[in-house]
Amino acid sequence: MLHKVSSANPPYANMLGFGCWNPTYWGQNIARGATQVLSDWAAAVKMRVDLRTRSGRPVRLLSFVLAVAALMGACRASAGPPQRVIWVVIDSLRADHLHYMGYEKETSPWLDAFARESADFRLAIAPSHVTRRSAAGYMTGKYGHDLLDVDPPRHIPNAERTVAELFQEAGYRTVAWVTNPKLAPGIGFEQGFDEYHVLQPHAAPKSSIDEINDRVRSTHASYDGKAFIYIHTMDVHLPYRPPSPYDRMFAPPYTRPVVRQGAAYERGGGYILSNFPYFSTTHDLQSEDVAYLVSQYDGAIRYTDARLSELFDVLEYDPARDLAIITSDHGEQFFEHGFWTHGKLMFPEEIHVPLLVQYAALKPGPRTQPASLLDLYPTLAELLGTPVPLDLAGSSLVGRLPDEAPIARYVVSEHQHRLIPAAVVVGDGFLYRLNGNAHHRYPWRLWPFIEELYNLDADRGCRNNLAGGMSEAADRFNAFLRARRPRLAAYTPDLIRGADDDVKLGPDLFEASDGPWRTTEQEPVKLGAGGLILQTSLTQAHRRALVDEPGHAHLIEVQFQLASGAVFFRLQNTPVAAPTPVVLDALPGHPAVSWHYGSSTADNTPRNVCAVVYPRSTETYLVASLAAPGRATVLSARLRRAYVPEPATAYKLPPPEKRSAGPYRTPEERARLEGLGYIE
């Protein structure tokens, strides 16, 4: 059952937004507001205090004063803090797969009705595109990167004041029920909760919202007083395994083996994470596979939607006194921009989330201006009557009325990885995307920077990049982003604008080092007619290059043919393919992972693979090996210095020989972090 807003709440209270005494409303709408207030007062009272004199004439002044006094008393009551706050996060739920947001499928009938009675923020942006960064943001009102420094063990330092602590200090009982193991206690998310329950799955890959409902049902009586209840569900998160009948509700006929158990698998058994040609030689992903995968995601949304109704009934949610928030921590991509899942690219599929806030003193209706999940912290602080900290990244949603002209506001979302200087800005109907390390997701690109600008009104899918033709708008967004996020300050328009043709390449270091292909015993390999032949008699070989400038960009290029089996290439600083060699930082942003590439598409077609890598050693080895019995020919291999622009502020990991055994911190840095509560 959907609980409706109580008719006992006077409509003028709703008109004013959060509570009656809203300075933003009065400051911006004084003339219009005065007329509306008087009109709504008369409509709300719907009676006349017909006190008459002995002559029978109405005493209108007294009637008006009594009506105003009664209504002002009701207004003050409606403006008080909520009795309970119920905050539900549906992990991985993207906004555009909800029916009320325009999705053609009926995925969300309960949420559709709930949205009609809520403040519906139609352009809500997550602070990041993974759970930990996003949750750390909305729980503290700050960007996750502002809470992290040099791999601390905590995502929310002890020194931070979380939203749960706000409620705890205000006398609320604070309770959390979460099913995402990434929010397990020990890294800060439990701060401020009297009870913090992490449900662990028994047989299924993750705990369900049904389990949450059962647990809450057994304890909900204890939440009758002032309470802050945080619930984080995982049913929409991969793998998508909605129970019957939801698994068939949107599913087309499907018999292929690619999608099974709620995920898309490559031939070797791992997830298919990208359909870019660079990554596509280990799988056979077709459009029908993606369609079926999406159907299971949509089924999981419909299942969660049905159980949300039950959850709110179990909690005995009363909209006349309680406040409810329903949102997501991030979205989900289905290969629209080359990748699957989340944490990949900063596009709307991954960062545009639903945001519904239902409260008796809040007028329902859509809000089209940009909002951030970081806004929830200052909003709740203001409703509690708690001073709003000045160092928050968000701003209160109090006073943002529906049907007003959109305010000029920019909202930022940041890449999950601290070594990837990337973020987007949403505002003025546009999405601006800046990436200072394009090689991270596009390793074949030579130019290291990405700048893109999209008109969200005309191009919601972000297909037509306008940055080149709208340089003034791009300049404005770039300046805002660099001023707002200091880690991006060096990425000026003069630096980032360029193309692959602007990158100069040096000579081949394999050839210059006189490094022939050798066996694991260091014996030279006799090449076949086409090049290095890997087969039963020789399953692995390597080639050495002397790197004069380790830590800088290089281009690795390999041409090969695979007749049968599977082939695997890897860059490392040892000549033998050991299970855990001291690897090179050849995958930008991942200093613990070397560049590697595999193929199991055995059609004997010549294939070229190239990637920008960052060798960390003066000796670099390309190791080629058969990953499965068969035959492969390595036609050519080159490693060349790539002279790309490198900002002076870019983070660079020290070479392996200069690293300490533990985290790379000076004693002074460690003392500073300990003082801030980042490490213990």
Q: What is the average pLDDT across 619-638?
A: 94
- Sequence-distant (6+) residues with CB within 8 A of 617 are 547, 550, 573, 584, 655, 656
Which superfamily, per CATH, for 504-643? Galactose-binding domain-like (2.60.120.260)
Going by their DSSP bridges, the two strands 195-198 and 173-178 should be labelled as parallel
pLDDT at 574: 78
pLDDT at 44 over 50: no
* pTM, entire model: 0.83
What's the DSSP call for residue 362? S
Residue 538 and residue 525 in contact, taking contact as beta carbons nearer than 8 Å: yes
Residue 114 and residue 359 in contact, taking contact as beta carbons nearer than 8 Å: no
pLDDT at 15: 30
pLDDT in tens, 300-330: 999 999 999 999 999 999 999 999 999 999 9
Where does the pLDDT of residue 73 fall: very low under 50, low under 70, confident under 90, or very high at 90 and above?
Answer: very low
Q: What are phi and psi of 494, to 5 degrees?
A: -65, -30
pLDDT at 403: 60
pLDDT at 678 over 80: no
User: Strand, helix or coil at 27?
Assistant: helix
pLDDT in tens, 169-182: 999 999 999 999 99
CA distance 154 to 152: 5
Least confident segment among 434-448, 516-530, 638-652: 638-652
Q: What is the average pLDDT across 423-435?
A: 96
> pLDDT exceeding 90 applies to what percent of the chain?
65
pLDDT at 92 over 90: yes
Q: Which two tokens stand for residue 360?
A: 């008796």
What's the DSSP call for residue 479? H
Between 254 and 69, whose confidence is greater?
A: 254
Where does the pLDDT of residue 31 fall: very low under 50, low under 70, confident under 90, or very high at 90 and above?
Answer: very low
pLDDT in tens, 109-163: 999 999 999 999 999 999 999 999 999 999 999 998 788 544 445 788 888 999 9
pLDDT at 579 over 70: no
Closest CA to 77 of 320, 318, 357: 320
Where does the pLDDT of residue 373 fall: very low under 50, low under 70, confident under 90, or very high at 90 and above?
Answer: very high
**Helix, strand and coil percent figures for the chain, each rounded to 5:** 30, 25, 45
pLDDT in tens, 233-289: 999 999 999 999 999 999 999 999 999 999 999 998 999 999 999 999 999 999 999
Bridge partners (DSSP) of residue 58 are 52
Residue 422 and residue 437 in contact, taking contact as beta carbons nearer than 8 Å: yes
Q: What is the average pLDDT across 508-527?
A: 89
Where does the pLDDT of residue 205 fall: very low under 50, low under 70, confident under 90, or very high at 90 and above?
Answer: confident
Domain covering 422-502, topology: Arylsulfatase, C-terminal domain (3.30.1120)
* DSSP H/E element including 19: none
pLDDT at 631: 97
Residue 78 and residue 20 in contact, taking contact as beta carbons nearer than 8 Å: yes
Q: Which two tokens stand for residue 377?
A: 């912290």
pLDDT at 398: 83
pLDDT at 63 over 70: no
Least confident segment among 197-211, 394-408, 421-435, 664-678: 664-678
pLDDT at 37: 31
Residue 541 and residue 624 in contact, taking contact as beta carbons nearer than 8 Å: yes
pLDDT at 200: 79
Domain ranges of the chain: 20-78, 84-247+294-407, 422-502, 504-643
* DSSP H/E element including 509: helix 509-512
Q: What are phi and psi of 569, to 5 degrees?
A: -120, 145
pLDDT at 671: 60
Q: CA quadruple 344, 467, 646, 501: dihedral positive or negative?
A: positive
> pLDDT exceeding 70 applies to what percent of the chain?
78
pLDDT at 605: 95
Burial class (CB in 10 A: 0-12, 13-18, 19+), 436: buried
Which superfamily, per CATH, for 84-247+294-407? Alkaline Phosphatase, subunit A (3.40.720.10)
One fold for 84-247+294-407 and 422-502: no
Residue 395 CA to chain centroid, in angstroms?
A: 19
pLDDT at 36 over 60: no
Q: Which two tokens stand for residue 574?
A: 């040892």
Where does the pLDDT of residue 536 fall: very low under 50, low under 70, confident under 90, or very high at 90 and above?
Answer: very high
Going by their DSSP bridges, the two strands 259-260 and 173-178 should be labelled as unpaired
Residue 71 and residue 45 in contact, taking contact as beta carbons nearer than 8 Å: yes
